[in-house]
């Protein structure tokens, strides 16, 4: 499983390597700084390679196969977009300034999901840097970038990216990403990257011209599944496993979030996951740093956290969608139409205490029994959120939670995740209640793909569209422009109030010893009627306690303070109207409020 791509050496010498096992001939076509065509040599595993002199950084090239010039599947840079030539990158040329950075424990992270193109007016990596100090001051210490590998056009979510090693040209290319990561690390902020290893985008995808990258066995919703266990699967397996190390090594990325891991199929004796784990362990041993892998999984199975040698994927954590679903249904009366199987406060209690809400019972949406218990899995192995790109962008009008519920419920939502034993994640702008929409958008070049995405979104939305209602055209630039953050709101009125609330919650989470305890067995949930609950957190020795009282209803609720402590001191209150209470006193919880006692 060789590394493929263009590997520059300091003496203007470059080695090119590409996998094409069924081809008899591959020609390297250098088009700059001078036009040259050179035959490559094939080895027994189907890798073609050649070392060439007088190839400076930035030199552009194609591989010529069967008379057609094609970009390098492992291209490190596509300066002229997805159909243009690949370009040589000198990774050693960048002078990193993050030597003092050694990473952060995963349990201490506050993740912040970012779409590079809509975060700032510039829509670039460097456009994010001026905002980092504000994010750090809020308490955010980890960016999670939506996919940045080369996708078609100038604007896209990135989940139909094609060239997995190439940093998108419109965001600032390889150097732009390095500058952002460097700037983050110098401020104590980690950087995670979203990657897609279950499929490749359709437009500009010539991988099948090189070799059998795609499976003939498995079917997934977004295109051809990757061939990880069929004939010739060593090539694709090496391509994606080496990509993990590419981001960690060349770009100093701290962790990856892997999209839809349930659509990665590998029944090999040595799976993709074992290959990745081995490579990451080797890199960690050499750098002394821990690198993290987070999975998005539709399996509701804790087994993906197991070692690959025990049949798992070896992931460090996974997104906990169930937590989002039940909390959203309890906060928004329209939520039931989207998540029919989530409807009881007891399910939120289970999400806090166990993790998965659906853990083996019959689920109507699935039409089958679904999930497995995750009780006993400690909290740092799950990421919770109220919003993410999917939850917002897959609504007809791209509404954020700030448009769907009032300010009081936004505060409740924030408290629910930051007081949980899990690792919290915000979607960009959530901390101040951004109310601009976040739509799905693309900028395809080929009519076939433009029409396909437009018709696909129409079909996806047809059950949610009211009579005469339309949805934004994903191909339109205006759809993209409307999705940009309006950072100027951040310190005004209700937006500042919500920002201050997030800051207080993060500060409490970071400084309170009890909230550092991620053992779910040390956590208890007591229900107060149908719309209230007490989240009881305690220290590992059981001596210190926090009572987090939530009222999700529009009516006042009463709760008698426990008697195992003489006095309960108020720590934080979303309504700022409740004072410290003595044991046995009645706490009158205002409608849609949360108060924390210790």
Cβ count near 209 (within 10 Å): 15
- Please confirm, yes or no, whether 137 is among the known catalytic residues: no
Burial (Cβ within 10 Å: 0-12, 13-18, ≥19) of residue 563: exposed
b (16+ CB within 10 A) / e for 337-348? eebebbeebebb
Q: According to the annotation, is 389 in a ligand binding site?
A: yes
CB proximity list for 87: less than 8 A, separation 6 or greater: 58, 59, 60, 61, 75, 76, 77, 78, 79
Q: In angstroms, rounded to a whole number, what is the distance separating the alpha carbons of residues 124 and 115?
A: 10
Is the Cβ–Cβ distance between 139 and 157 less than 8 Å? no
- Please confirm, yes or no, whether 259 is among the known catalytic residues: yes
- Of 132, 417, 390, which is closest to residue 257 (Cα–Cα)? 390
Q: What angle do CA 539, 544, 549 make, to 5 degrees?
A: 95
Helices (H) and strands (E) counted in the chain, each on its own, are 15, 32
Q: According to the annotation, is 323 in a ligand binding site?
A: yes
Q: According to the annotation, is 246 in a ligand binding site?
A: no
Torsion of CA 369, 371, 376, 380, to 10 degrees: -160
In sequence order, what are the beta bridge partners of 581?
A: 568
Q: According to the annotation, is 322 in a ligand binding site?
A: yes
Q: According to the annotation, is 321 in a ligand binding site?
A: yes
Handedness of CA 200, 206, 211, 216 (dihedral sign): positive
Is the Cβ–Cβ distance between 592 and 408 less than 8 Å? yes
Q: According to the annotation, is 453 in a ligand binding site?
A: no
Which residue stretches of 462-559 are H helix?
A: 477-482, 493-511
Which of 72, 259, 266, 431 is an active site residue?
A: 259
Q: According to the annotation, is 54 in a ligand binding site?
A: no
Q: According to the annotation, is 258 in a ligand binding site?
A: yes
- Of 183, 179, 203, 172, which is closest to residue 82 (Cα–Cα)? 203
Is the Cβ–Cβ distance between 423 and 382 less than 8 Å? yes
Cα dist. 163→16, 151, 218, 389, 555 in Å? Answer: 16, 7, 22, 22, 54
In sequence order, what are the beta bridge partners of 214?
A: 226
- Look at the chain and count its residues: 598
Which of 72, 296, 341, 380 is an active site residue?
A: 296
Q: According to the annotation, is 188 in a ligand binding site?
A: no
Q: According to the annotation, is 393 in a ligand binding site?
A: yes
At residue 220, φ and ψ (nearest 5 deg) are -135, 165
Q: According to the annotation, is 261 in a ligand binding site?
A: yes
Handedness of CA 422, 319, 502, 408 (dihedral sign): negative
Burial (Cβ within 10 Å: 0-12, 13-18, ≥19) of residue 423: buried
Q: According to the annotation, is 449 in a ligand binding site?
A: no
Task: Retrieve residue 430's tokens.
Answer: 């959530």
Q: In angstroms, rounded to a whole number, what is the distance separating the alpha carbons of residues 345 and 328?
A: 11
Q: According to the annotation, is 108 in a ligand binding site?
A: no
For the chain, what is the radius of gyration of the CA atoms?
Answer: 25
Q: According to the annotation, is 471 in a ligand binding site?
A: no
Q: In angstroms, rounded to a whole number, what is the distance separating the alpha carbons of residues 221 and 276?
A: 25
Q: According to the annotation, is 394 in a ligand binding site?
A: yes
Torsion of CA 49, 51, 54, 59, to 10 degrees: 30
Task: Retrieve residue 405's tokens.
Answer: 């519920």
Q: Which residues fall in the annotated binding site?
A: 257-262, 321-325, 389-394
Q: Which residues fall in the annotated binding site for substrate?
A: 257-262, 321-325, 389-394
Active site residues: 259, 296
């Amino acid at each position: 499983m060789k590394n493929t791509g263009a590997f520059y050496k300091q003496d203007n010498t470059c080695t090119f390597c590409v996998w094409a096992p069924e081809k008899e001939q591959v020609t390297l076509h250098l088009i700059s700084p001078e036009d040259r065509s050179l035959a490559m040599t094939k080895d027994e595993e189907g890798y073609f390679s050649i070392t060439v002199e007088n190839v400076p950084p930035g030199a552009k090239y194609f591989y010529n196969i069967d008379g057609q010039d094609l970009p390098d599947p492992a291209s490190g840079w596509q300066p002229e977009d997805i159909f243009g030539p690949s370009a040589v990158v000198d990774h050693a040329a960048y002078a990193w300034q993050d030597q003092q950075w050694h990473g952060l424990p995963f349990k201490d992270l506050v993740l912040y999901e970012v779409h590079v193109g809509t975060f700032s007016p510039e829509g670039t990596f460097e456009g994010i840097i001026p905002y980092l100090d504000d994010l750090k001051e809020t308490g955010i210490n980890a960016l999670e970038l939506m996919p940045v590998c080369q996708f078609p056009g100038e604007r896209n979510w990135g989940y139909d990216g094609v060239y997995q090693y190439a940093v998108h040209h419109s965001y600032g290319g390889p150097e732009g990403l390095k500058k952002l990561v460097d700037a983050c690390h110098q401020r104590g902020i980690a950087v995670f990257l979203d990657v897609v290893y279950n499929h490749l985008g359709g437009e500009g995808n010539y991988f099948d011209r090189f070799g059998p990258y795609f499976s003939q066995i498995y079917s997934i919703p977004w295109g051809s599944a990757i061939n990880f266990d069929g004939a010739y699967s060593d090539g694709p397996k090496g391509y994606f496993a080496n990509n993990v190390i590419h981001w960690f090594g060349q770009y100093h990325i701290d962790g990856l979030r892997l999209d839809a891991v349930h659509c990665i199929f590998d029944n090999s004796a040595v799976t993709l996951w074992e290959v990745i784990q081995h490579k990451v362990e080797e890199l960690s041993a050499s750098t002394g740093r821990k690198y993290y892998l987070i999975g998005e999984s539709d399996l509701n199975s804790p087994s993906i956290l197991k070692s690959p040698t025990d049949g798992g994927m070896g992931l460090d954590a996974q997104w906990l969608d169930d937590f989002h679903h039940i909390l959203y249904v309890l906060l928004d009366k329209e939520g039931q139409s989207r998540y029919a199987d989530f409807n009881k406060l007891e399910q939120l209690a289970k999400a806090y205490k166990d993790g998965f809400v659906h853990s083996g019972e019959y689920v109507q949406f699935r039409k089958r029994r679904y999930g497995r218990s995750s009780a006993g899995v400690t909290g740092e192995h799950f990421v919770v959120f109220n919003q993410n790109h999917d939850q917002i962008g897959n609504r007809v009008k791209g509404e954020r939670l700030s448009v769907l519920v009032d300010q009081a419920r936004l505060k409740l939502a924030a408290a629910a995740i930051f007081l949980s034993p899990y690792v919290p994640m915000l979607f960009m702008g959530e901390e101040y209640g951004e109310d601009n929409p976040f739509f799905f958008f693309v900028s395809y070049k080929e009519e076939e793909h433009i029409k396909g995405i437009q018709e696909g979104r129409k079909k996806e939305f047809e059950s949610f569209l009211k009579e005469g209602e339309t949805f934004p055209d994903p191909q339109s630039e205006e759809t993209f422009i409307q999705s940009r953050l309006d950072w100027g709101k951040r310190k005004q009125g209700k937006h500042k109030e919500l920002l201050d609330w997030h800051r207080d919650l993060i500060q409490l989470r970071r400084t309170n010893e009890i909230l550092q305890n991620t053992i779910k067995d040390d956590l208890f949930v007591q229900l107060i009627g149908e719309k209230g609950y007490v989240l009881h957190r305690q220290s590992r020795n059981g001596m210190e306690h926090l009572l987090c009282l939530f009222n999700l209803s529009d009516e006042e609720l009463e709760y008698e303070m426990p008697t195992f402590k003489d006095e309960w001191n108020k720590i934080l209150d979303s309504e700022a109207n409740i004072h410290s209470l003595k044991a046995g006193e009645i706490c009158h919880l205002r409608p849609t409020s949360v108060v924390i006692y210790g």
